């Protein structure tokens, strides 16, 4: 079972993956999610109610907060597609990393990269924008500040990066996006992109 490690003298034909791009799957959990596309074309998802992101299986790295906004950018490494995921954890934000390191605060901004599958498990799903809420505006401002080439280069060297956003302060109250629900699912679905279109299965 598994692959026998290659002897040091053997030639390794496959290039090593950058340490900042993982093979781990990402699981997103919450009560409600709003799915839409940002004005710059980035896939966005606004999760409301007991948000939890698990990165890997078993003793996985875990992100949690009352709300979260996620942006997913499709990139390639040596021709192989992967997803660059940016996460704003909003209110009671906590990140538990490998080894038990815990980072917490009113708000945290996290980036990660993965070749793995991204699945979402929510009670309700709406194809509706929440871009006019305070949570989204604050997170989007941070995201756009991290679009420089120097940040992208660093992304491929660190599998999970946590940024303190304490300067934002805690929101006074929970924003109330419009409650119209266009789709209901009692369980799990998977988001993928085919020929430029988002497919939910």
Residue 190 lies in a domain: no
Domain span at residue 114 reads 26-169
pTM of the complete model: 0.70
> What are the φ/ψ torsions at residue 151 (nearest 5 degrees)?
-75, -40
Q: Is residue 176 part of a domain?
A: no
- Looking at residue 173, its pLDDT comes to 45
Q: Find the helix or strand (DSSP H, E) in which 164 lies.
A: strand 160-164
> What local confidence, expressed as pLDDT, does residue 20 receive?
76
**Residue 11 falls within a domain, yes or no?**
no
Classify residue 136 by burial, with Cβ atoms within 10 Å: 0-12, 13-18, 19+: buried
Domain assignment present for residue 6? The answer is no
pLDDT tens digits along 150-169: 455 555 555 567 766 655 43
Q: Residue 171 has what pLDDT?
A: 43
- The answer as to whether 126 is a domain residue is yes
Per-residue pLDDT at 155: 53
Q: Which residues of the chain have pLDDT under 50?
A: 1-3, 5-16, 149-150, 168-186
**19 found inside a domain:** no
């Amino acid at each position: 079972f598994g692959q026998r490690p290659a002897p040091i003298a053997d030639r390794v034909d496959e290039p090593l993956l950058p340490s900042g791009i993982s093979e781990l799957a990402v699981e997103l959990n919450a009560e409600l999610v709003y799915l839409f596309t940002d004005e710059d074309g980035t896939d966005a998802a606004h999760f409301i109610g007991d948000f939890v992101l698990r990165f890997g299986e078993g003793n996985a790295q875990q992100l949690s907060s009352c709300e979260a906004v996620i942006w997913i950018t499709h990139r390639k490494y040596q021709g192989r597609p992967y997803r660059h995921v940016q996460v704003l954890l909003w209110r009671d934000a906590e990140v538990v990393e490998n080894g038990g390191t815990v980072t917490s605060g009113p708000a945290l901004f996290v980036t990660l990269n993965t070749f793995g599958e991204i699945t979402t498990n929510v009670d309700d799903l709406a194809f509706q924008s929440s871009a006019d809420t305070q949570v989204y505006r604050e997170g989007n401002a941070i995201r756009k500040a991290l679009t420089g080439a120097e940040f992208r280069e660093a992304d491929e060297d660190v599998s999970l990066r946590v940024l303190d956003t304490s300067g934002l302060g805690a929101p006074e109250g929970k924003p109330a996006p419009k409650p119209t629900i266009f789709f209901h699912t009692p369980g799990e679905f998977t988001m993928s992109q085919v020929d430029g279109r988002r497919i939910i299965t």
